[in-house]
Chains A and B, each alone.
Chain A
Amino acid sequence: MPPTLPKKMKTANDLDGKKRRHASAKSVVNSFVVKHRPFSFLRIAAITGNTLTELVRLKVFYFLLIFALLLIANSLFMARLSFQQEFQVLKDVSLGAMSIFSSLLAIVATAQLIPRDLEDRTIYTILAKPVPRHEYLMGKLAGVLLLLALSILAMSALFLVLLFVREHILVNETLRATASLRPEQIQEALHSLKASAFNANLFPGIVIIYLKAALLAALTLLISTFASSNIFTILVMVFVYFIGHLEATAREYWLQDHSSCGWLVKAFLALVALAFPDLQLFNLVDDIVAGTAIPMTLFTQTAVLGCVYTSIYLFLAWVAFQGKEL
Chain B
Amino acid sequence: MIESAVAVKGLTKVFPIPFRRTKLVALRDLNLEVAPGQVYGLLGPNGSGKSTALKIILGLVAATAGTSKIFGRDSREVRSREAVGFLPENPYFYKYLTGQETLRFYGKLCGLRGQKLKARTNELLDLVRLQDARNRRLGGYSKGMLQRIGLAQSLIQEPKLVVLDEPTAGVDPAGSREIRDLILDLKRRGITVLLSSHLLAQVQEICDRVGILAHGILVREGRVHDLLAIENQTELILENASPEVLAQISALLDKSSTHLIEQRRPQTTLERVFLDATHPSEKNENRK
Enumerate chain A interface residues (CB-CB to B < 8 A): 1-6, 9, 11-15, 19, 28-29, 31-38, 40, 42-43, 45-47, 50, 53-54, 57-58, 120-122, 124-132, 323, 325-326
Residues of A close to B50: CB separation below 8 A: none
Within the complex, the shortest CB–CB distance from B126 to chain A, in Å, comes to 6
Residues of A close to B160: CB separation below 8 A: 29
CB within 8 Å: A-B pair count? 153
- The answer to whether residues A126 and B111 also contact, given A32-B157, A53-B97, A121-B91 and a CB cut-off of 8 A, is no
Residues of B close to A2: CB separation below 8 A: 177-178, 181, 185, 286
Out of B83, B91, B186, name the residue touching A125 (CB < 8 Å): B91
Interface status of B96 (Cβ within 8 A of chain A): yes
In angstroms, Cα B126 to Cα A132, docked, is: 30
Enumerate chain B interface residues (CB-CB to A < 8 A): 15, 55, 58-62, 78-79, 81-94, 96-97, 101, 105-106, 108-113, 115-116, 118-120, 122-123, 126-129, 150, 153-154, 157-158, 160, 163, 177-178, 181-182, 185-186, 188-189, 285-286
A31 with B111: CB separation less than 8 A: no
In angstroms, Cα B174 to Cα A280, docked, is: 62
Among residues of A, the one whose C-beta sits closest to the C-beta of B123 is A11
Residues of B close to A28: CB separation below 8 A: 158, 189
B94 with A50: CB separation less than 8 A: yes
B158 with A31: CB separation less than 8 A: yes
In angstroms, Cα B94 to Cα A57, docked, is: 11
Residues of A close to B84: CB separation below 8 A: 128
Out of A37, A120, A129, name the residue touching B93 (CB < 8 Å): A120
Within the complex, the shortest CB–CB distance from A307 to chain B, in Å, comes to 27
Among residues of A, the one whose C-beta sits closest to the C-beta of B81 is A130
A3 with B78: CB separation less than 8 A: no
Q: Can you pick out 16 interface pairs between chain A and chain B where the beta carbons lie within 8 Å of each other?
A: A3-B127, A12-B122, A14-B122, A28-B158, A33-B83, A34-B112, A34-B157, A35-B111, A43-B108, A54-B96, A120-B93, A124-B88, A125-B87, A127-B59, A128-B59, A132-B78
A122 with B91: CB separation less than 8 A: yes
A3 with B88: CB separation less than 8 A: no
A32 with B178: CB separation less than 8 A: no
B96 with A58: CB separation less than 8 A: yes
Among residues of B, the one whose C-beta sits closest to the C-beta of A40 is B111
Residues of B close to A53: CB separation below 8 A: 96-97, 101
